[in-house]
């Protein structure tokens, strides 16, 4: 029984270190994890640079194995220390942890899966978990509230943009045709998105006068409708900020409302508020 | 007489299913239509991909004929079931329904009209009719109100942008000339639009120092004036969200409305409000 | 004496027709002028299209001469009918009227000035004078007020953008050098403007890793600071719209202020306002 | 002692001229400095234009030496006239003054450091010190307040953008690979930044259907999230402009401030305000 209790304590301790950041050990664990993630990302990036990889291949490979084993250990400890392991395994971050660790082992066993190793870059997403970025955005978190409030409107806007791009892409395919680079409708839709979002790579560009005329309309459309998401987010943030610093009391004497949050006396008649 | 009544009932039933979405059958009809539209668009897109079309040409062709006949049937039923058929035929969606169905038959009769078949993509516009997207935008529909309110201002802005592009395009044609890709004034105007809207394909780019200088001014202009439509839409949304501090009472004496929220007397005749 | 009076009347009549739009004749003159301007611009554009010009050269040339003579007549009448001719001649529109008429005569006398003929496109600017676009923007003209109010701030912003582009352009010239297309500092500054304004032609693009890193910073900078002019204009429009529909009266009885603009009775005590 | 006093006075006088702009001499010094900076920048720019440098090399070189010596003198005088020289030397502008002067001397001694001479363009940053641009932005300096207030949020936004670009860049490297121009991950990240910020050079562009699909998502993402910094800055400017409805009185009894504009009694202690 004593052993069982000790075992539970050990798991709880581990859970506290890994999943929480309130204790000294928890914070230290987060900092080490952050460094390991950044080191891991740097390794992924440097490995892809052929001239660098040629010189330091062994160093990169060994470092990568060390970090992969560390992350594997962390993954196992996360599963062990949590009460409902499957909830973690199939959570967003659980899947990311798995996807960013397994490919290295696969590349050892199966040849041809080497390119999957770059999936390790997904580890970077974990930075959001560690930093809990929300708290930097502002105490009242108005920005997040505004973004959530405008999510539905932005989705409708994007749905509209995508449909416009499909139709205009098809029209451009009919006008320009294969000989001018609009080889098929998916490529033409891709071009319409490139143009409407004002990115404009220029790898495909209309050559016929009619095509250039339609392209001009798409560009002016894209240049104008960017005002819509911006307007939505702006006004949502503004209305989220507009919560005035007033309480909901009414004066017991003159019944006036909208007193300052910290007021103890009515600004109209001087009676004591909240007797 | 009994037969006539039955006939009318049958037409009314059909009208309810096709044009409305309140009944079970009406909703089912809309869902089937939505699936047919998406399937049709997928067929248009896949047909344009040469490698796919080569393999599955027969499948695509037969599927396309099935869907075209279905849409033709729907078009005929729409005309039959409505009281004023011409109002439908010459309405926006009526023309789209026609344009997106006829080309397939034409391609059967006339050789060389095959490219028109892509007009079927116009069917996608019908998605807006089915989904009635407005209701997703928000209960009070403030966004739509704001866009309608800012329509005139945006139109003036676009008119200004187009005139600026015509003038600057002509100036660039004079400066750069044919040898640098500005082959004629329409092409130069197209280039000015590409540049002002910050799309920047790069298929045409100024080569002379003076041309690059004018281009820089166009770019900075385009980068700055995007603030105008954005500002218009933002403030319109904001003012649509800002419900004025007025109550909905009407004066019992003079029937004036729009009294201040806390008003106890009519601002017009001095009568007591809400006695 | 009688003749002198008649002469003045004739001039005044002409002034009314040409410079004003209140009379029937004045409006007709404006409409004819508008048509002439658009016809003139179309001629300029069509003339520049080589294939079109080859076919219809004579038609274009004769039409052009007719319109040029009409505009010359209008220019002379404008000078004759105004009391202070020099004020008109050296005004913004006076210079445009001159610049857009003279080149055609020059091209007749001097060979080699043909390209200047495209200056006729400047006539398009006169459209703004005729249409008096301000009145379409909104009764209260809040947009114009907002733009005027934010002019100084936008100018400082653009000054900042230009200085940043000069410095970053020079830095990129040092990093990339002539071999990668950054042939000299003016070209590099041009590239920096192309990049910061998110136009991105791609005719010049950084090739070295360091250059691409600096370019990334410029792009992210340009992507972020576009928020500044947008924010300025948005808030200026918002504050221009926020003029509430309230008068500045105070009630003679209870001294309450902020009555509705058309109120005749105090909303608080029911006394008559403005006795 | 008299000499010492005189010496101090001389230094103080110099300090007033160089560091301040209140006296006539101080203003003159600033104007001369401004002209020297602009002349210096023009020299840097013209020197980089090969065709110009070939013709006027001697003129440019001599002018450059004159200006460099003038700036060196100014640098020495700045150090001499200030009480804490090291504070200036290691300040932002002190380092710029040094970096923009030394390379010319280095180019005289060491061959191969010639390209560093372009560092003189850094002098342009000093324009901000001289012009004290803040005062042009507006009396209340609301814009600067708004930008400072939104700094943290913008930083989080940029951090998010960079992480998204690293992940999407890596994904694109895996999909497109070296054969389509995505030679390594840093280049792919650079491409992701080019695309997300809607710059779109087009020097690298996705070729595979899947790559173009992911690119479309990046572009639509970039087109949408630009609403976030814009919304932040807009609302911050708006809230900086919205002076709260508070008066500037302090309570005669408890000295509390920030009373409501119409308050007659202190909200904290109930004393009568402004008896």
Q: What is the pLDDT of residues D170-186, one digit of tens each?
A: 889 988 888 898 998 99
CA–CA dist C228, C238 (Å, integer): 15
Report pLDDT for C22: 74
Better pLDDT: A271 or C132: A271
Residues in chain A with CB shorter than 8 Å from the CB of C205 are: none
- Asked if the model's pLDDT at residue B237 lies above 90, the reply is no
Q: How many CB atoms lie within 10 A of CB D247?
A: 14
Report pLDDT for B139: 42
Return the percentage of chain C with pLDDT > 90, whole number.
16
- Asked if the model's pLDDT at residue B197 lies above 70, the reply is yes
Same domain for B161 and B67: no
Average pLDDT in the C30-47 region? Answer: 87
| Radius of gyration for the alpha carbons in chain B, expressed in angstroms and rounded | 28
Same domain for A114 and A90: yes
Report pLDDT for B108: 74
Mutate to test the interface with D, among B45, B195, B197, B202 (most CBs of D within 10 A): B202
- Asked if the model's pLDDT at residue A164 lies above 80, the reply is yes
Mutate to test the interface with B, among A154, A184, A225 (most CBs of B within 10 A): A184
Q: Give the end of a domain, one of C107, C131, C155.
A: C131
The DSSP symbol for B271 reads: P
CA–CA dist A105, D236 (Å, integer): 50
In this structure, are residues A60 and A53 in contact, taking their beta carbons and an 8 Å threshold? yes
Q: How many CB atoms lie within 10 A of CB B41?
A: 21
**What are the residues whose beta carbons fall under 8 Å from the beta carbon of A144, sequence distance 6 or more?**
A134, A137
Report pLDDT for D111: 65
Same domain for A120 and A28: yes
Report pLDDT for A267: 64
In this structure, are residues D153 and D183 in contact, taking their beta carbons and an 8 Å threshold? no
Report pLDDT for A249: 62
- Residue B203, SS3 per DSSP: coil
Report pLDDT for A30: 83
pLDDT averaged over every residue in chain D: 80
Pick from C216, A197, C202: nearest CA to D201? C202
Mutate to test the interface with B, among C142, C183, C232, C237 (most CBs of B within 10 A): C237
Residue C218 sits at the vertex; the CA angle it makes with C216 and C223, to the nearest 5 degrees, is 95
List phi, psi (to 5°) of D259. Answer: -80, 155
Same domain for B127 and B151: no
Look up the domain containing A220 and give its range. Answer: 147-238
Residue of A nearest to B243 (CA): A239
pLDDT digits (tens, 9 = 90+) for D111-136: 665 666 677 777 787 777 777 654 55
Residue of B nearest to C48 (CA): B184
CATH number, residue D39? 1.20.120.350
Residues in chain A with CB shorter than 8 Å from the CB of D222 are: 197, 199
Contacts of C among chains (3+ CB pairs under 8 A): A, B, D
Report pLDDT for A275: 46
Cβ pair A268:D267 closer than 8 A: no
- Asked if the model's pLDDT at residue C217 lies above 90, the reply is yes
Considering A62-71, A232-241, C230-239, C250-259, the range whose residues carry the highest mean pLDDT is A62-71
The answer to which of A200-204, C146-150, C210-214 has the lowest mean pLDDT is C146-150
Average pLDDT in the C183-211 region? Answer: 92
Same domain for C206 and C109: no
Report pLDDT for A139: 42
In this structure, are residues D115 and C174 in contact, taking their beta carbons and an 8 Å threshold? yes
CATH number, residue C221? 1.10.287.70
The answer to whether position C72 is within a domain reads yes
Better pLDDT: A2 or A90: A90
Residues in chain B with CB shorter than 8 Å from the CB of D199 are: 200
Same domain for A126 and A156: no
Average pLDDT in the A243-265 region? Answer: 62
CA–CA dist A170, A187 (Å, integer): 9
pLDDT digits (tens, 9 = 90+) for C159-176: 889 989 998 998 899 888
Mutate to test the interface with A, among D150, D155, D165, D170 (most CBs of A within 10 A): D170
The answer to which of A220-224, B256-260, D149-153 has the lowest mean pLDDT is B256-260
- Predicted confidence band at D1 (pLDDT cuts at 50, 70, 90)? very low
CB pairs under 8 A between A and D: 176
How high is the ipTM of this complex? Answer: 0.80
Of A121, A189, A271, the CB nearest to D170: A121
Report pLDDT for D18: 79
What's the predicted TM-score (pTM) here?
0.83
In this structure, are residues C272 and B271 in contact, taking their beta carbons and an 8 Å threshold? no
Cβ pair C234:D234 closer than 8 A: yes
Report pLDDT for B256: 66
The answer to which of A141-155, A208-222, C53-67, D59-73 has the lowest mean pLDDT is A141-155
The DSSP line for chain A is -HHHHHHHHHHHHHHHHHH--SSHHHHHHHHHHHHHHHHHHHHHHHHHSHHHHHHHHHHHHHHHHHHHHHHHHHHHHHHHHSS-HHHHHTSHHHHHHHHTTHHHHHHHHSTT-GGGGGGGGGGGGHHHHHHTTHHHH-TT-HHHHHHHHHHHHHHHHHHHHHHHHHHHHHHHHHHH-GGGT--SHHHHHHHHHHHHTT----SS---SHHHHHHHHHHHHHHHHHTHHHHHHHHHHHHHHHT--SB-----TTT-----BTT--B-TTT-PBS--
Average pLDDT in the A216-228 region? Answer: 92
The answer to whether position C211 is within a domain reads yes
Average pLDDT in the B70-85 region? Answer: 87
Q: What is the number of domains present in chain B?
A: 2
Return the percentage of chain B with pLDDT > 90, whole number.
16
Average pLDDT in the A111-129 region? Answer: 71
Better pLDDT: A186 or C24: A186
Report pLDDT for B22: 73
Q: Give the end of a domain, one of A131, A155, A185.
A: A131
Ramachandran class of A270: left when φ > 0, alpha when ψ lies in -120 to 50, beta otherwise = left
The answer to which of A115-119, B160-164, C36-40, D207-211 has the lowest mean pLDDT is A115-119
Chain B: closest CA distance from residue C232 (Å): 8
pLDDT digits (tens, 9 = 90+) for A174-185: 888 888 989 989
The answer to whether position C124 is within a domain reads yes
Report pLDDT for C198: 92
pLDDT averaged over every residue in chain A: 80
Same domain for C161 and C120: no
Burial class of residue C112 in the structure, from the number of CB atoms within 10 Å of its CB (0-12 exposed, 13-18 middle, 19+ buried):
exposed
Report pLDDT for C142: 67
- Asked if the model's pLDDT at residue D193 lies above 90, the reply is yes
Better pLDDT: B187 or D124: B187
pLDDT digits (tens, 9 = 90+) for B12-27: 888 888 877 778 888 8
Same domain for D154 and D115: no
Residue of A nearest to D176 (CA): A115
**What are the residues whose beta carbons fall under 8 Å from the beta carbon of A129, sequence distance 6 or more?**
A93
pLDDT digits (tens, 9 = 90+) for D204-244: 999 999 999 999 999 999 998 888 888 888 888 877 766 55
Residue of C nearest to D43 (CA): C185
The answer to whether position B125 is within a domain reads yes
Report pLDDT for B258: 61
- Asked if the model's pLDDT at residue C245 lies above 60, the reply is no
pLDDT digits (tens, 9 = 90+) for B220-229: 999 988 888 8
CA–CA dist B193, A209 (Å, integer): 14
Average pLDDT in the A216-240 region? Answer: 87
Chain A: closest CA distance from residue B4 (Å): 43
For residue B228, give Cα distances in angstroms to B146, B161, C15. Answer: 15, 11, 36
The answer to whether position B248 is within a domain reads no
Q: Give the end of a domain, one of D103, D131, D159.
A: D131
The answer to whether position A244 is within a domain reads no
Same domain for D31 and D105: yes
Same domain for B173 and B121: no
The answer to whether position B164 is within a domain reads yes
Better pLDDT: A70 or A135: A70
Residue of D nearest to C219 (CA): D197
Report pLDDT for C221: 93
CB pairs under 8 A between A and C: 9
The answer to which of A37-41, A163-167, B121-125, B262-266 has the lowest mean pLDDT is B262-266
pLDDT digits (tens, 9 = 90+) for C79-115: 888 888 888 888 888 888 888 888 778 777 766 656 6
pLDDT averaged over every residue in chain B: 80
Of D198, D202, D230, the CB nearest to B202: D202
Report pLDDT for B132: 61
Residues in chain B with CB shorter than 8 Å from the CB of C137 are: 152-153, 156
Say how far residue C157 (Cα) sits from the centre of its chain: 20
Report pLDDT for C190: 94
Contacts of D among chains (3+ CB pairs under 8 A): A, B, C
Cβ pair B200:A205 closer than 8 A: no
Same domain for B193 and B159: yes
Of C198, C199, C234, the CB nearest to A234: C234
Same domain for C169 and C124: no
In this structure, are residues B33 and B129 in contact, taking their beta carbons and an 8 Å threshold? no
The answer to whether position C219 is within a domain reads yes
């Amino acid at each position: 029984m004593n052993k069982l209790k000790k075992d539970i304590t050990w798991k709880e301790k581990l859970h506290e270190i890994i999943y929480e950041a309130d204790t000294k050990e928890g914070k230290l664990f987060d900092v080490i994890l952050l460094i390991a993630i950044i080191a891991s990302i740097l390794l992924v990036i440097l490995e892809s640079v052929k001239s660098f990889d040629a010189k330091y291949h062994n160093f990169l490979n060994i470092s990568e194995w060390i970090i992969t084993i560390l992350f594997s250990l962390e993954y196992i400890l996360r599963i062990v220390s949590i009460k409902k392991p499957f909830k973690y395994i199939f959570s967003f971050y659980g899947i990311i942890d798995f996807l960013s660790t397994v490919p290295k082992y696969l590349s050892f066993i199966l040849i041809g899966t080497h390119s999957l190793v770059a999936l390790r870059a997904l580890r970077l997403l974990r930075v959001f978990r560690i930093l809990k970025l929300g708290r930097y955005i502002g105490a009242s978190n108005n920005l997040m509230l505004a973004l959530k409030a405008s999510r539905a409107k932005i989705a409708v806007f994007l749905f509209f943009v995508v449909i416009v791009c499909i139709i205009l892409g098809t029209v451009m395919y009919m006008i320009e045709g294969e000989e001018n680079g609009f080889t098929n409708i998916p490529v033409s839709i891709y071009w319409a998105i490139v143009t409407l979002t004002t990115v404009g790579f220029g790898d495909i560009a209309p050559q016929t006068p009619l095509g250039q005329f339609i392209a001009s309309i798409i560009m002016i459309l894209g240049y104008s409708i960017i005002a819509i998401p911006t307007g939505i987010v702006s006004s949502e943030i503004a209305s989220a900020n507009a919560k005035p610093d007033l309480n909901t009391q009414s004066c017991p004497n003159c019944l006036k409302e909208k007193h300052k949050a910290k007021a103890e006396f009515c600004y109209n008649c001087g009676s004591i508020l909240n007797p």
